[in-house]
Amino acid sequence: MQVALTLLYALAALLASAFAFIELRMLWRFLRNRAAIHATFEGAPQGQTARGDAAAPTVTIQIPLYNERTTAEQIIRAAAAQDYPRDRFDVQVLDDSTDETRHIVAEVVEEMQKTGVRIEHLHRDNRQGYKAGALAAGLEHTEAEFFAVFDADFVPEPSFLRRLLVEERAFDDPKVAFVQARWSFGGPVKNLFSSALALLIDRHFFVQKPTRAFVGDVTTFNGSAGIWRRKAVEEAGGWSADTLTEDLDLSYRCALRGWRGDYVHRVAVVNEIPGHMRAFKAQQHRWAKGNAQCFKSLTGRVMAAKGILHDRWEEAFLLAGYAIHPILLTNLLLWPWAVLYMDRTLFWILQMFMGVAILVAPLSFAITVVERDGRWSLASIGEIVAGICVGIGLMVNNSAGQVQGFLEAGGEFVRTPKSNRPPGAPAAKTAARAYASPLHWTFFAELAVIGYCLMTTAVLMSRGEGLWAVPLVFWAMCLGLVAQMQMSPKLA
């Protein structure tokens, strides 16, 4: 029993530290190349002139919708208002809705058509393939060379198409499969825990994504606010509903065929932060499940892609990204028994490795804050602490998603409810009632793990190991915070 415990705990600790070292390597690359990264992704394009309207390629804007009555009109009007040659772009509203969203869309589309916008309302009476199925169905109705994808809560500026396709000339390289723009929130997010969620996303777009693109690693599409080259999608096999992260899946299938993605940091698209912890958990559960599905289906091909991918081990760790949550949960469950029964010298050695995992998250968030805000403040410290607590508190939810992803392909694409609200503001009561997220079963699993932490804390204290019980109390607090936020009417 002691040998099995030692092996399991050592494996969990070493895997956690391996993920931490990969993150540290990325942060070191960012800091070492910071000036060059800024020049590449934030400065104006160098050495090229913008094309004229005559050279503007044809593009279709695709808007996949499912029961989005609070945001459908907003995104349709933003898409129709693009400052792009009218004869070179059109809009597809890919509507799988079963509520009044369908009628809202029909009215707005009819209004836009009268203004001369080429716009089509494509309604399906089923959700076959979910978002991936809707995008694939839309491609059958257009011959455009490129297509842009926007989820319902995104609001692109009128210059979006012009900047990426004409001014930035982002597709001049014929091997660029897609271009991803940065996600933003339209201004400072003042609510503490909403700002913590924003920090989790900003870390990806301000540090991780530009660094990976700069060093030549695979750039991935984030599901919205980007433009795809039709030829790349068709060569890679098209959209697939075999995973719940169809964007990650297609990004890697393109990369394995020699295509690459590009990231344009200076073009930002405003979108909405989930307005409730239940909605955020549903989104994270879907991403964790889809991530596991992509890891299962793609890792073998990635590791065999010598000469195609720049750093195959780096890509494998990215595909395994959400695995950090079941690793942390395993560490939590084994912690009290490792304290009591493992060889203390070996236990201390493993804690030295775990120390890297403990430090890397606050370091990564701190660098993100400086990059995004250009300064430090007391509020920044609060954001970082809240971001760490929320990240840890999601370990049960995301571990469940990972396990499900390894056991099954596809699955229901559970939408993230939108409310069309300013950043940090509470959702309107009518919207909250219309699209309230149910309490997920993982809420009760979180309560069970909290109880386990408290029970084993008492066990450690009774054995004179009270100091080693502190991590259990901290984990219980993080899980309790996430659990409490699921019972609140909105994010605290």
DSSP-derived 3-state class of residue 435? coil
- Residue closest to 89 by CA, chosen among 112, 123, 108: 112
> CB–CB of 263/213 below 8 Å?
yes
**CA–CA distances in Å: residue 99 to residues 60, 63, 66, 240:** 26, 17, 9, 26
> CB–CB of 491/276 below 8 Å?
yes
Phi-psi region at 224: left, alpha or beta (left = phi > 0; alpha = psi -120 to 50): beta
Rounded to an integer, what distance in angstroms lies between the CA atom of residue 51 and that of residue 44? Answer: 15
Rounded to an integer, what distance in angstroms lies between the CA atom of residue 79 and that of residue 155? Answer: 8
Rounded to an integer, what distance in angstroms lies between the CA atom of residue 459 and that of residue 468? Answer: 11
Please tell me which residue in 90, 153, 217, 247 is annotated as part of the active site: 247
> CB–CB of 201/183 below 8 Å?
yes
What phi and psi, each to the nearest 5 degrees, are found at residue 47?
70, 20
Q: Does the active-site annotation cover 247?
A: yes
Strand order of the β-sheet with 146-149 is 119-123, 89-95, 59-65, 146-149, 226-229, 176-184, 260-270
Please tell me which residue in 95, 96, 249, 262 is annotated as part of the active site: 96
The tally of CA atoms less than 13 A away on the side-chain side of residue 327 is 18
What is the DSSP secondary structure assignment for residue 42, as one 8-state letter?
T
- Residue closest to 223 by CA, chosen among 197, 244, 203, 198: 244
**Count of C-beta atoms within a 10 Å radius of residue 113:** 15
- Active site members: 96, 247
